[in-house]
Amino acid sequence: MKIKKIAIGIAIVLLTGCSSEPNIEVSIQTNQHWGSLVFVIQSIADDVVVSNVVVNRGSCALPRGTTKDIEREIELSFGESYRGYSPSCTVSDVKEIEVTTNAGDFIFSF
């Protein structure tokens, strides 16, 4: 009986973690100078911390500047945006962007 209660407790925790709503919105656009990908992460909640971004499951590389920003963690207040780049991809290449924030991991499909 004790194992059943533990299993139910774990299931509740896992399901609760999966149901959190994104605290950000993600949009994509074309870099007007080079034609490559620009992604914009905008906070739709207070005190958002972005700690990781993966474009197309890692097949679209992020340049050093964008990677360093993310490694330091990006802190956004409500309505603030962060603009990142991927010179190895274009808008038409992007199928998904996964963003890790202080509210969880979120996948945005395009």
The tokens describing 45, both together, are: 């909640």
**How far apart (Å, rounded) are the C-alpha atoms in residues 88 and 65?**
14
Lowest-pLDDT range of 14-23, 31-40, 72-81, 87-96: 14-23
Domain boundaries, the chain: 22-109
**How far apart (Å, rounded) are the C-alpha atoms in residues 38 and 91?**
8
pLDDT of residue 6 exceeding 60, the answer is no
| DSSP helix/strand/coil, 14 | helix
How does pLDDT run across 14-54, given as a tens digit for each residue? Answer: 444 454 899 999 999 999 999 999 999 999 999 999 999 99
62 DSSP assignment: P
CATH number of 22-109: 2.60.40
In which residue are the tokens 């004790």 written? Answer: 2
